[in-house]
Chains A and B, each alone.
Chain A
Amino acid sequence: MAGQVLEFLSSWGPLWFGIGFLAPLIAQSMDAMSIPAPLGLPTIVVGLIVGTTAGFVAKRRGSWV
């Protein structure tokens, strides 16, 4: 049972990583380089859109590259 829970959580790892780390990383990188977000969105929203999408794609493909 515990093994199945760990396996489930791990299998969604790329998505957790995309939301939890990539999203703020993208936002903070945009802020550091003074890159404005499109449509007047906050940079964290851009980060969350890109990070979640990238994480989901990586989860589906089983690869980031």
Chain B
Amino acid sequence: MSAVNGIRSTPSLRTDRELQREEATIARKYLGRVPWEMVVWGLGNFVVWLSLWPLVFSGMLPLWAGFLLSTLCCILAYLPSHEAQHSIIAAEGTKLRWLNELVGHISTIPLVFPYRVAWITHKQHHAYANDEERDPDITSRAETWWQSIWSSIKGRQPGNQEGYAKAMRETDDPNRDRAILEAFALRTMHFTVLLICAWTGHALEGLFLWLLPRHLGSIYNVLFLSWAPHHPANETGRYRDTRAWKSPIGTLLTMGMEYHIIHHLYPKIPLIDTAKAFYEFEPILTERGIRNDRPNKTGA
């Protein structure tokens, strides 16, 4: 076995077709179930975030605690919507489709990240991962994590025309206009709430319950959901655009993103199952020559 530049490979004795067939057999085991835990996560997180407002305004919760909890809620807000973007909760035309769409729309409200914009841009990310011109997430690419945070802050500035702005401008997705309208409505709602807080003497509550947590949550998500799993983001292709990696802060705090490669290979496998699936896929993926930056079990 060799390990150069994240490539751990064993000489493949099987044909591409045989490997494909084996991959599909494993993938099938993880497909098709409703990930109820993501439904509870998404809707529950939104309810907790919403409850912080009356708790803080009534004085039952100090503002500093509200700020910390709201930031945590914003960090947790994206992934349930991500499951909905891939129709993992319920496919189009099925009985529970309304739940899929509900989770998709509701869970990202704390982040002020409209579901349909997330969906359109995320489809492009999957189709063109690490492509300098066409991947909307390529803006998170950076040599170090702190450079990634800085580029994430710069990417959130009002005049930024790259990343998601560029993707939304250039997409021919039939839902584009609807997505832009929903984005405008969500941002207007966010601004209106801040405005009401500010002019009724609660500007600090608006700042610490929504504005700052929203930006901190987005920066955290870009770092661990986009930068880290794709780093160094200099290769394209099914088995090379995403990596398996070991997080210094653990699987839980990175919300399972160490196994993000499984998501890129089989986007309909629920997040909760990606770690288990990874270990089952690992021998095949090693033969495929994936980027595996996890420490070798033998310590090599």
A binds B: yes
Closest A residue to B185 by beta carbon equals A6
Out of B153, B180, B191, which one reaches A65, CB within 8 Å?
Answer: B153
In contact, A24 and B199 (Cβ under 8 angstroms): yes
Complex Cα–Cα for A63 and B154 (A): 8
**Which of B130-157 touch A at CB < 8 Å?**
153-154, 157
B98 at the interface (CB under 8 A from A): no
Interface string of A4-33 (1 = CB under 8 A from B): 001000100110110011011101110010
In contact, B198 and A6 (Cβ under 8 angstroms): no
Complex Cα–Cα for A24 and B207 (A): 11
Knowing A62-B158, A63-B157, A65-B154 are in contact, say whether A25-B191 is a contact too (CB < 8 A). Answer: no
Q: What is the CB-to-nearest-CB distance from B229 to chain A, in angstroms, rounded to a whole number?
A: 26
Q: What is the CB-to-nearest-CB distance from B286 to chain A, in angstroms, rounded to a whole number?
A: 43
In contact, B198 and A20 (Cβ under 8 angstroms): yes
Complex Cα–Cα for A35 and B224 (A): 39
Out of A14, A25, A62, A64, which one reaches B198, CB within 8 Å?
Answer: A25
Complex Cα–Cα for A24 and B159 (A): 24
In contact, B160 and A20 (Cβ under 8 angstroms): no
In contact, B159 and A17 (Cβ under 8 angstroms): no
B204 at the interface (CB under 8 A from A): yes
Main SS of the interface on chain A? helix
Residues of B within 8 A of A64 (CB): 157-158
In contact, B204 and A25 (Cβ under 8 angstroms): yes
Complex Cα–Cα for A62 and B160 (A): 7
- CB within 8 Å: A-B pair count: 59
Knowing A21-B195, A62-B159 are in contact, say whether A6-B203 is a contact too (CB < 8 A). Answer: no
Out of A13, A24, A25, A28, which one reaches B158, CB within 8 Å?
Answer: A13
In contact, A20 and B194 (Cβ under 8 angstroms): yes
Interface string of B90-106 (1 = CB under 8 A from A): 00000000000000000
Q: What is the CB-to-nearest-CB distance from B78 to chain A, in angstroms, rounded to a whole number?
A: 23
**Which of B202-221 touch A at CB < 8 Å?**
203-204, 206-207, 211
Residues of A within 8 A of B181 (CB): 6
Q: What is the CB-to-nearest-CB distance from A10 to chain B, in angstroms, rounded to a whole number?
A: 7
A37 at the interface (CB under 8 A from B): no
Closest B residue to A59 by beta carbon equals B158
Complex Cα–Cα for A6 and B7 (A): 48
Residues of B within 8 A of A23 (CB): 198
Closest A residue to B195 by beta carbon equals A20
B184 at the interface (CB under 8 A from A): yes
A58 at the interface (CB under 8 A from B): yes
Complex Cα–Cα for A6 and B191 (A): 14
Closest A residue to B198 by beta carbon equals A24
Residue from B157, B203, B206 having most chain A Cβ neighbours under 10 A: B203
3 nearest A-B residue pairs (beta carbon)? A62-B159, A25-B203, A24-B198
